[in-house]
Amino acid sequence: MRTLLVILLATLGLGAAENLLTNGDFEAGTSGWSNNGGELSVVKDRAVSGQALKISMKAPGERNISQKLSTPIAGQTLTISGKAFLDEANDWKPTLIYMFTQNAEFQKIDWKVLKMVQQADDWNSFSVDAAIPNEAVHVTIGVFAKDSAGTIWLDDLSVTAK
Ligand SMILES: [Ca+2]
């Protein structure tokens, strides 16, 4: 029992910061994510962990998935990280990681690009810090592709507060 307690305390003390995203690794399908255009599916044949999200775009256009964070984080700095794979067979514009913030009345504070993910022959890891405005009550993190056609795979997305 004592050994178990020691292991438990060590795990809690050394564990990674809590992921503020729900289902950032897509092991629960698309649960927790909003699809703002595009064909979403969850696949195992190209994944970093278990399953990955696959976004298919047959014609150039705008595709966008997002998730509104449920934890209050105003005034904090977030680290947004994850892995993306952009199909090399297609003509890609950069895929954007963005953040949308609103005040308590749902008025827009800011929509900003945090990171651009470029096409590569393998999984691209990205990580970026973002300061959350003090008046932000609603914070949405998303992935946005514009004027591109092809396939994006995403996996192990994470948002942590410092
Ligand atoms: Ca996964």
Centre of ligand 1 to C-alpha 123, Å, is 13
* Coil, helix or strand at residue 19: coil
How far is 128 from 122, CA to CA, in rounded Å?
19
Centre of ligand 1 to C-alpha 2, Å, is 34
12 band by pLDDT with thresholds 50, 70 and 90: low
Residues less than 5 Å from ion ligand 1, measured at CB = 25-26, 49-51, 155
Centre of ligand 1 to C-alpha 155, Å, is 5
How far is 36 from 155, CA to CA, in rounded Å?
18
Centre of ligand 1 to C-alpha 109, Å, is 32
Centre of ligand 1 to C-alpha 53, Å, is 8
> What is the per-residue burial (b if ≥16 Cβ within 10 Å, else e) of 105-143?
eeeebeeeebbebebeeebeebeeebebeeebbbbebbb
What's the pTM?
Answer: 0.85
18 band by pLDDT with thresholds 50, 70 and 90: very high
Res 96 pLDDT > 90: no
The DSSP call for residue 21 is S
Centre of ligand 1 to C-alpha 135, Å, is 33
Q: What is the mean pLDDT of the chain?
A: 86
What domains lie within the chain, and their CATH numbers? Answer: 18-161 (2.60.120.260)
pLDDT digits (tens, 9 = 90+) for 22-75: 999 999 999 999 988 778 899 999 999 999 999 888 777 778 899 999 888 899
Centre of ligand 1 to C-alpha 50, Å, is 5
